[in-house]
A = this chain, B = another copy of it.
Amino acid sequence: MGAPRKAKRGIPPKSEFNSWYPSIIEIADLVDKRYPIKGMDVWKPYGLRAMSLIDGLTRNQMSMTNHHEHRFPLLVPENLLDKENKLVSRLKAAREAGVDPSELRMDDEDSGFKKEVYWVTHGGENELESPMFLRPTSETPMYTMFSLWIRSHTDLPLKTFQIVNTFRYETKQTRSFIRVREIHFFEAHTVHADEEGATEQISEDASMVQNILSDLCLPSLVSKRPVWDTFPGAWYTMAADVVMPNGRTLQVATYHHYRDQWARSFDLNYEDHNGETQFCHQTTFGMSERLLGSVVGMHGDDQGLIMPPSIAPHQVVLLPIAAHVRDDVITEIETLSDKLSNHGIRTFVDDRDVRPGVKHYDWEIKGAPIRLELGPRDIDAGKCIITERTGKKYETPLSNIEESIINALDSVASELKIRANENFSNHVRPLPEIIKTDDGYEFESPLEDGIVYSFPFCGNDSDAEILEKLSGLTMLGECVEEYSEIRNCVITGTGTTKMQHLARMY
């Protein structure tokens, strides 16, 4: 994770996002994709450090909200799935009885899950009695244990999380951080005495997601996913999507209210104050390395990455100038680095024996938020030169350097937010008018590629289906943001403040 060994040229312009993205990941040395299994990348030190810092943001949120970190086994015996299958059957029966449309599971409910996991069938040369799969997510192993841990209302709420590797047998094209087969994954699982407890948890999750995305300088759309895109067994699923620079949306966080649906299958119940047995209510909250993918994709430019200060492995890279001319340059710059470190700032002294231009070029690619130059003349004048990765360059006195650096980091973060908001505004537009024709519907003006369309909507599932077919895009679900005044639903014409989006999702 030290200085880059050598600069690599040939970054495509960011306007060609689909070739820029994989190329910058390689050039900035975040991961190496050449491992002989597609979708299983090797994390290089710089990428791993950035990801660990994102995990740090998450752990902070977890700690402030009294979640406790656990670690569950990776392998899940197939026979534990009986309980999950029980859940599926129950939901299916409910649907057939027309009980509650929000209780539906996705269409491939019977076999979808098994198709997406890796199966361990042998231990050494022995065939295992019961095959085991690599966790794609940990409901089954966790709830098996929760049912041993929860006896009484005094055991609730139970708020757990883990940060682990999960696996998905991905058949679609893989992309670093965005669609991979070994996933660096965060999952929080909570258990509550009642529906309200779980609902409060969902609000807490919503704030945590916004806190983390704000630290990453990322605006997002938060929606309640349509029923057909709800997580299996969930009452409802909330999701945060980032609008990437190519206009595709990337789902970076989901949180699910399960009510007591999983609890009924896993016999997860407790004795309440009156000594009566009640089923628990549950939530889950998941994020992944996609957070890093969206940081890379959103903030980088033609010159390389731009790391938000909150997760930059090196917030300030110090460049000694003309160190061969005067011995005190290195000493002074080390002192400066220590001073900043003592203020909790992550620093790195690049003392490679190469020209300053090469260093600037390399750290532009790696996206260090701030470069600080110090040479003999600067020392004599009691100043240094600051370059912010987002563009500003200026002199600043050494006397008050901690404050200058903190301001410079804030300046980079603000600029990243402004740019990300601009990207958002450029890519999210109102849906063109829909005209009813004899054959059905058509748009007044054609849709453009790379645009997320917003529109008032209060229709039902088949109205949504009309829109998806007409646009060739996907409904993100009911947005938590609403229109400030009543508008007419694009299909039903009814007045509503509810907003939805059609987008091409990753």
Contacts and interface: CB of A to CB of B under 8 A. Distances in A.
A123 B169 contact: yes
Interface string A12-53: 000000000000000000001011110011111100110000
Contacts of A132: 37
Given A42-B70, A120-B119, A169-B123, A36 B182 contact: no
A343 interface: no
Interface stretch (A72-80, A321-329, A371-379, A415-423): A72-80
Contacts of A155: 5
Given A70-B44, A75-B37, A119 B121 contact: yes
A162 to B, nearest CB: 9
Interface string A55-84: 000000000001011111111010010000
A141 B71 CA distance: 24
Interface stretch (A110-118, A190-198, A333-341): A110-118
A107 interface: no
A389 to B, nearest CB: 23
Given A40-B73, A73-B42, A124 B120 contact: no
A97 interface: no
A2 B116 CA distance: 37
Contacts of A115: 124-125
A145 interface: yes
A134 interface: yes
A447 interface: no
A126 B121 CA distance: 13
A165 interface: yes
A148 interface: yes
A101 to B, nearest CB: 29
B68 A1 contact: yes
Judged by DSSP, the binding face of A is mixed
Taking each of A40, A71, A80, A145, which has the highest tally of chain B beta carbons within 10 Å of its own beta carbon? A71
A69 B1 contact: yes
Nearest to A1: B68
B114 A124 contact: yes
Contacts of A134: 120
Given A69-B1, A70-B48, A77 B121 contact: no
Contact of A45 (B2, B68, B184): B68
A155 B72 CA distance: 38
Nearest to A152: B5
A77 B2 contact: no
A8 interface: no
Given A1-B68, A35-B144, A42-B70, 19 more contacts: A32-B145, A32-B149, A34-B148, A35-B73, A42-B71, A42-B72, A42-B73, A42-B145, A43-B70, A43-B71, A48-B70, A116-B124, A118-B120, A118-B123, A119-B121, A119-B123, A120-B120, A120-B134, A124-B171
7 contacts: A32-B148, A34-B145, A36-B144, A41-B73, A48-B71, A119-B121, A124-B169
CB-CB nearest 7 A-B residue pairs: A123-B169, A43-B71, A40-B73, A115-B124, A119-B122, A45-B68, A121-B121
Interface of A: 1-2, 5, 32, 34-37, 40-45, 48-49, 66, 68-75, 77, 80, 111, 114-126, 132, 134, 141, 144-145, 148-149, 154-155, 164-165, 167, 169, 171, 182, 184
